[in-house]
Amino acid sequence: MRVDVVQARPRAAADLEGLLGPEERDRLDRLRREADRAAYATAHALLRLVGAAWTGQAPEDLVLGATCLTCGGPHGKPHLEGGDPAVHVSLSRSAGKVVVVAVTRLGPVGVDAEVESAVDFEGFDAVALAPGEQGAVADLPDDRRSSGRAVLWARKEAVLKATGHGLVAAPSDVEVSAPFAPPELVAWRVDASGGGPVHLADLALGAGLAGAVAVVGGAAPDIRLVDGSWLLDGA
């Protein structure tokens, strides 16, 4: 029932790229901004380090694949190849702020980290939130509106990452509970593939950040959020 959720501050890409696979190194090469490179390398290295603990393989031997639900191409929701039973993974990266990864055998998992200021702009609610969510944000006191909005967005993205839809689905078709109420999926209007019960939890990632993890599957997850700095120190 365990879901490991591990967060870290981004580190220099040069210190971690040796852990990555060939496709990851190609993508890293295409990133120009140092902050993007650091977040990418740290997220993928951390995913490999945590995945290695679950599979017993060396981090650099893990094969991380992805298959797009929309076009079938080699991108989209990541998966670890060869696990039996399958080890489900997800990651989120915010340049200069935080990376977070989630690993579990419980079922498809999605994790998301959001910087509050990134979703605090005119017009966001009308496009991204369902009518009930817009009302819940509007009802918040002024000084809690940004953080509440980020909590909602992190929950919605976590669900869409767990199902593999990502933002190909309209985010307003996924409705979650009000920002400071217990996290839960309230309505799924994306398609017929709800995929069973969705368990949702908020993540306390630090000041100015919101986070959430979602797992699709039957049993209630035991979610553990830990700092992964020590894993990266030893890499």
Exposure string for 91-103, b = 16+ CB within 10 A, e = fewer: bbbbbebbbbbbb
Q: Residue 113 corresponds to which amino acid?
A: A
CA distances from 69 to 6, 85, 164, 201 (A): 26, 22, 7, 24
Tokens standing for 105?
């055998």
Interface with ligand COA (CB under 6 A), residue from 40, 97, 147, 199: 40
Q: Nearest distance from residue 148's CB to ligand COA, in Å?
A: 18
Q: How far apart are CA 15 and CA 17, in angstroms?
A: 6
- Each residue 80-119 as x (binds ligand COA by CB under 6 A) or -, in order, gives ----------xxxx----------------x-x-------
Q: Nearest distance from residue 158's CB to ligand COA, in Å?
A: 9
By CB under 6 A, tell whether 157 contacts ligand COA.
Answer: yes
By CB under 6 A, tell whether 200 contacts ligand COA.
Answer: no
Interface with ligand COA (CB under 6 A), residue from 51, 164, 183, 221: 164
Cβ partners under 8 Å of residue 72, min gap 6: none
Q: Which of residues 42-81 bind ligand COA (CB under 6 A)?
A: 43, 68, 70-71, 73, 76-78
By CB under 6 A, tell whether 219 contacts ligand COA.
Answer: no
Count, in order, helices (H) and strands (E) of the chain.
7, 11
Q: Name which of 166 and 195 has its Cβ closer to ligand COA.
A: 166
Q: 205 and 9 in contact (C-beta within 8 Å)?
A: no
- Using CB under 6 A, list all residues that contact ligand COA: 40, 43, 68, 70-71, 73, 76-78, 90-93, 110, 112, 157, 160-161, 164, 166-168
